[in-house]
Amino acid sequence: MPTFQAWLLAIRLKTLPAAIVPVWAGCLMAWKLAGQFHLSLAVATLLGALFIQIATNFFNDVIDADKGTDTEKRLGPQRVTASGLLSRGSVLRGAFLMLALATLSGLYLFAHCGWEILVIGLPSLYLSYGYTGGMFPLAYRGMGEVFVILFFGLVAVGGTVFVQLDDVPKDAWLLGLQIGCLSAVLIAINNFRDLEEDRAAGKNTIVVRFGRVFAFWGIQLLSLVPLGLIFGMSHPAIDRVTWFKISLGPSLIFYSLITYGLWKALRTKRVGDSLLGVAALQLIVFVILQSFVMSR
């Protein structure tokens, strides 16, 4: 495999919507709430989120190979370190390069937004490694989904709105929880697929701890909670009457079909790499649906 393709494999393109969508949703909400949008701040926020996501994937690739979690016999997509497509040192250098670029984006935001950016940025930088590495690797303690909801949902969306408005209204937190739940579907499906391999390597994900049935219903709950959270939104930016009108249209029908497809595939245990792409599509369709609502 050419080196360029190996790096694309290491980046894990299907996971990148988890970094892009929160910034998209947060910027949209800021524009709707206050009628303002700062493009340079949005670009810096997006780049920072992408660099941290890619660094997380690189660290995960190396650490899982070191711990024997990823092998050449894994069911999911090929991992570049375990398969020898890229050297361990190269992937680690790539991870630190991504962290350096994320730091540069953060410094730009710090200069414009103040010390609060450090509260968001420093834990995010560390946890790109601490997700699978360090003294308390979250992914190995069954806390991967919680991490994603917190940092790729609440922190990412709330932080984006803060960068734009210098404030975080209640609806931004609710939107962050919605996005976080759907982003967690990505990691939950990944863990569902890797159950046997993770169990053998001592990686105690939620599905390893509680079994496939528990994980199956957990994924369904993560898919449905975002719809229910619409009721908690009170600001005029979220017009629930409009939302229910749109719910009869193609966007929600498409979202429902995707959710049903996930349910059917998980129920029959047909969990391949393509299902991760379906989960990413579910996340994108949901934020498109929210975009229609908030643009009314």
Tell me what the mean pLDDT of segment 102-121 comes to: 91
Tell me what the mean pLDDT of segment 23-52 comes to: 90
Q: In the structure, what pLDDT confidence band is assigned to residue 163 with cuts at 50, 70 and 90? A: very high
| Closest residue by Cα to residue 16 from 271, 277, 192 | 277
- pLDDT surpasses 50 at 92: yes
What is the pLDDT, as a whole number, of residue 78?
Answer: 77
What is the pLDDT, as a whole number, of residue 70?
Answer: 62
Quick one: fold of 3-294?
Farnesyl Diphosphate Synthase (1.10.600)
pLDDT for 247-258, tens place per residue? Answer: 445 556 777 777
What is the pLDDT, as a whole number, of residue 42?
Answer: 94
Q: In the structure, what pLDDT confidence band is assigned to residue 239 with cuts at 50, 70 and 90? A: low
Give CA 220 to chain center in angstroms: 17
Q: Of the ranges 14-28, 91-105, 267-281, which one carries the lowest mean pLDDT score?
A: 267-281
Distance CA 265, CA 193 (A): 11
Tell me what the mean pLDDT of segment 116-127 comes to: 90
Distance CA 40, CA 33 (A): 19
Domain ranges of the chain: 3-294
What is the pLDDT, as a whole number, of residue 246?
Answer: 47
Write the CB contacts of 50 (distance below 8 Å, at least 6 apart in sequence).
Answer: 16, 19, 20
What is the pLDDT, as a whole number, of residue 23?
Answer: 94
Distance CA 60, CA 130 (A): 9
Tell me what the mean pLDDT of segment 111-131 comes to: 90
Max mean pLDDT among 59-73, 85-99, 200-214 falls in 85-99
Q: In the structure, what pLDDT confidence band is assigned to residue 66 with cuts at 50, 70 and 90? A: confident
With pLDDT > 90 as the criterion, what percentage of the chain qualifies? 29
What is the pLDDT, as a whole number, of residue 261?
Answer: 77
With pLDDT > 70 as the criterion, what percentage of the chain qualifies? 84
Q: What is the pTM of this model?
A: 0.84
pLDDT for 181-223, tens place per residue? Answer: 999 988 888 888 888 888 887 888 898 899 888 988 888 888 8
Q: Which residue has the higher pLDDT, 171 or 241?
A: 171
- pLDDT surpasses 90 at 89: yes
